[in-house]
Structure 1
């Protein structure tokens, strides 16, 4: 079984366990106008809880798309914060940095300043310490590349692409997500309370209490 794109991109160890997802949506005028996606992976100290910290940070992000969090095999927790970068904040393709607030070479591309400032402010207001592990910035071209047929999803918004990649992280293959999207249902052959959207169905089932 292949590693989900987001887990591979952020180099999340395969033995780490996904423990929660968070969804928020900025104004459609932003996500439908092009733009890009920035993902920040942060480690948390022992006295912090991933679900609480993630929710607090999300409240202060004007371009926040939510995120997800998990737990390592040693019990430590981490959070990923997703932000939409408006078109004027672009200027990068696929960029990785293991020190997102560290010094860079002058010629190196970097995530947009607006999303950097927004995250720094949100962490400060939420009282979440900065323990960055990685920052990844993706433009639209990089976001569609993981899909089996990028042309099919070329007109999807940044938010749609991100949610599909997050649904893959929750267990549904990307080709199945694309195939079922026109139906507006993630499990057409199963009895379930349909959310009217493939990714919402996936998130609802993933978040449901296990028997």
Structure 2
């Protein structure tokens, strides 16, 4: 599979393929400090990523973006990223774990799919995501003021074949300023559209 941070940290067998990606462009604007999570889900043998994405997405109010594909044996998988205000779990439920709202939201959605299994969970604060960019060679000052949603989208764009340095340089408007292309006027949409148009 394409090189990218998420592919490095998730447990993909050799020969796994990415076939789908999605971006929730209408996600809520940030309101104060935010947290994020990513869940690696193994789907049922006869399920389809695009169908399950549409279904699960309709039950996940905090969803930002994600990707999906198939393992070498043909079984499908997906990775869903969510974000929410850091104090939401405390305010609404009195829980100290800020990520519990995101986990509960996914659990409710997956209750409609008995064949889906959450294999891995990643949890982040904004500072954690900035550190990931630093580890990928991006100076912290270049992204430390990005909203959590865009930090997540950057990691997804990296999975779609873009260099993080190009994403950061082109942010927020264009991923390919030196290349003739049908510009989407959004660095992430530019990358995602280019990935969809790639030769199969």
Coarse TM-score class (shorter-chain normalised): 0.7 to 0.9
Q: How does 1:105-116 map to 2 (within 5 A)?
A: 112-116=99-103
Q: What is the CA-CA distance between 1:22 and the residue it aligns to?
A: 1.3
Listed as ranges, the gaps of 5+ residues in structure 2 are 91-95
**Aligned partners of 1:113, 1:158: CA distance in 2, in Å?**
17
What is the SS of the residue equivalent to 2:121? strand
2:195 corresponds to: 206
Q: How far does the alpha carbon of each residue in 1:32-80 deviate from its partner, in whole angstroms, 9 at most, with x for none?
A: 5221110011111112111110121011111111311011111111011
Change in Cα spacing, 1:172 to 1:90, as seen in structure 2 (3 Å) is farther
TM-score, normalization: structure 1?
Answer: 0.81
Q: Do the aligned residues in 2 keep the contact of 1:38 with 1:85 (CA within 8 Å)? A: no
2:93 corresponds to: none
Q: Do the aligned residues in 2 keep the contact of 1:58 with 1:66 (CA within 8 Å)? A: no
Q: What is the CA-CA distance between 1:110 and the residue it aligns to?
A: 6.1
1:149 corresponds to: 139
TM-score, normalization: structure 2?
Answer: 0.85
Cα-Cα RMSD = 2.2
Identify which of 117, 121, 124 aligns with 2:108: 121
Runs of 4+ in 1 over 6 A off after TM superposition: none
Q: How does 1:45-124 map to 2 (within 5 A)?
A: 45-89=44-88, 112-124=99-111
Q: Do the aligned residues in 2 keep the contact of 1:41 with 1:78 (CA within 8 Å)? A: yes
2:161 corresponds to: 171
Listed as ranges, the gaps of 5+ residues in structure 1 are 92-108
**Aligned partners of 2:178, 2:152: CA distance in 1, in Å?**
25
- The number of residues matched between the two structures is 189
**Aligned partners of 2:151, 2:124: CA distance in 1, in Å?**
11
Q: What is the CA-CA distance between 1:11 and the residue it aligns to?
A: 2.8
